[in-house]
Amino acid sequence: MAEPTSKTKRRRSGLAGLILLALLVIGAAAIALMPAPIRDSYLISAQRHYRVWLASTGQALPGTPDLTRLDQRLAEKGMSLGTPILMRVFKREFELELFMLKDGRYELFATYPICKWSGRLGPKIKTGDHQAPEGFYTVDKNALNPNSRWHRSFNLGFPNAFDRAHGRTGSFLMVHGGCGSVGCYAMTDPVISEIWLIITRALDGGQKRFQAQVYPFRMTDENLAGYQSEHVAPFWRDLKTGYDHFEKDRLPPAVGVCDKRYVFTSGAQTRDITGPVTATCASSNTAATAG
């Protein structure tokens, strides 16, 4: 039998490439047509494996800021260490955002990739469920652990008043270094080092605590529509109220718990723009602390 010519080999290689491309397109289309909960489960699992592999090989995660240029990045945005901060976490997007107070509003300083979080989209319910929490929390100096086995860590403060009202249990739910997680948000050591510097300087600079808003995904109407029939949808719609307050005002909303639901007041109407997570429940005339 005659050996294939170079032209034939190129033709076969090209055909194989087209077949692979077609399979990828078909696979992507199939995933896109899946119900949002199933689709997101597949994509989240793929992201976890990819990010753990990158971290295990010493590679920076996609979207990691240039950690060697912190001073320059601050200067470029007209920001400085020691000013009040706010944090947002988005599970599905694997992103942690840090905002800094500038000219009376909190402006985005940096978006950091999350290496790993455990569980699925949805809140933490009980000890041992491996879920990472969702909701509104506050972090103060007492939550910081400079000697963590995960390099650096800070406690989100789960369970808060909302979680306790629902009988939820668990403890030591952290944001930390490394790329392993059992209910925590792992950022890798280099990334947590920069985050640690920013938050400790803010707390040392006079901020009593900062607000940490933890969401399943970016709280758009489109994203929520994909989960409208899920049992967590009412909880997420309440989270969206707080999300929308911050999107509008760029100030931390005041957060409370009333009738086992989060309640929010615009940050523009509160005296403390560092956003203590407290509010008064109008229906019972009692105050609840959610952080």
What is the β-pairing status of strands 144-145 and 210-215?
Answer: unpaired
Do 90 and 117 form a contact (C-beta atoms < 8 A)? Answer: no
Residues assigned a catalytic role? 176, 184
Burial class (CB in 10 A: 0-12, 13-18, 19+), 92: middle
How many C-beta atoms surround the C-beta of residue 178 within 10 A? 20
163 vs 287: CA distance, rounded Å: 15
113 vs 143: CA distance, rounded Å: 22
How many C-beta atoms surround the C-beta of residue 28 within 10 A? 10
What's the full length of the chain, in residues? 291
